[in-house]
């Protein structure tokens, strides 16, 4: 009695059934989507960027005045990645026992791009009024500190309006401040 053909038939049927079940997906038609600006005008984009960065600076300066305490106040104003960077900086301020006096501000702002969900800018931050002091009241501000420096800042549109500071990088080109 031979059983080999009886075993081979179901195996061949299963392998053929697997081949027949494979179907090609229809190709997906892609349509070029025109990038829509976040704001209707450059003036609106600049005003929103100015407001968002000014608020970020105000909160950041207050955290520095508080010796780096409670950096979570920046959440909702900055991206998660930027928050992690800022938090580590404030942790260092806290560990060193320093605190700030004064405020910084944006003195120049130029629109780079008002694109789909993003606004990119060049801006100058002025920190001439910011001084760092140790716990005994001694001025610990670096004498080599650059008081006005150029940044390339990207913003992301927030649901419900306004902008979130996505990234803030020192401009590596010629200082435009």
What is the reported pLDDT for 23? 46
What is the reported pLDDT for 21? 46
What is the reported pLDDT for 116? 81
What is the reported pLDDT for 176? 84
What is the reported pLDDT for 16? 37
Q: Is the dihedral of CA 47, 151, 58, 69 positive or negative?
A: positive
**Structural domain boundaries, residue 117:** 39-170
What is the reported pLDDT for 161? 82
In tens digits, the chain (177 residues) has pLDDT values of 443 333 333 333 333 344 444 444 544 444 444 556 778 889 999 999 999 999 999 999 999 999 999 999 999 999 999 999 999 999 999 999 999 999 999 999 999 998 888 999 999 999 999 999 999 999 999 999 999 999 999 999 988 888 999 999 998 888 888
C-alpha pair distances (Å), 22 with each of 27, 39, 151: 15, 47, 54
Do residues 64 and 127 lie in contact, with contact meaning Cβ atoms separated by under 8 Å? Answer: no
Domain membership of residue 106 (yes or no) is yes
Q: What are phi and psi of 71, to 5 degrees?
A: -65, -15
Domain membership of residue 60 (yes or no) is yes
Dig out the tokens for 120 from the structure.
């990119």
C-alpha pair distances (Å), 48 with each of 42, 93, 162: 10, 30, 6
Cα of first residue to Cα of last residue in the chain, in angstroms, is 95
Domain membership of residue 33 (yes or no) is no
Domain membership of residue 176 (yes or no) is no
Domain count, the chain: 1
In total, the chain counts a number of residues equal to 177
Domain membership of residue 62 (yes or no) is yes
What is the number of other CB atoms lying within 10 angstroms of the CB of residue 111?
Answer: 16
Question: Distance between CA 34 and CA 116 in Å, rounded?
Answer: 9
Domain membership of residue 34 (yes or no) is no
Domain membership of residue 85 (yes or no) is yes
Question: Distance between CA 70 and CA 64 in Å, rounded?
Answer: 10
Domain membership of residue 24 (yes or no) is no
> In this structure, what DSSP letter does residue 73 have?
G
CATH of the domain at 80: 3.10.450.240
What is the reported pLDDT for 35? 59
């Amino acid at each position: 009695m031979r059983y080999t053909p009886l075993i081979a038939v179901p195996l061949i049927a299963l392998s053929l059934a697997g081949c027949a079940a494979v179907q090609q997906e229809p190709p997906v038609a892609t349509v070029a989507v025109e990038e829509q600006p976040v704001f209707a005008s450059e003036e609106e984009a600049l005003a929103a960027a100015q407001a968002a960065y000014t608020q970020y600076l105000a909160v950041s300066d207050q955290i520095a005045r508080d010796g780096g305490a409670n950096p979570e106040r920046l959440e909702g104003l900055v991206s998660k990645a930027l928050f992690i960077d800022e938090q580590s900086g404030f942790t260092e301020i806290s560990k060193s026992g320093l605190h700030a006096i004064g405020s910084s501000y944006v003195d120049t702002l130029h629109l780079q791009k008002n694109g789909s969900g993003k606004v990119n800018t060049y801006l100058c931050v002025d920190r001439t009024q910011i001084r760092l002091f140790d716990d005994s009241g001694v001025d610990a501000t670096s004498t080599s500190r650059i008081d006005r420096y150029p940044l390339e800042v990207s913003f992301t549109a927030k649901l419900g309006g306004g902008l979130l500071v996505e990234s803030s990088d020192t401009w590596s080109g010629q200082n435009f401040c």
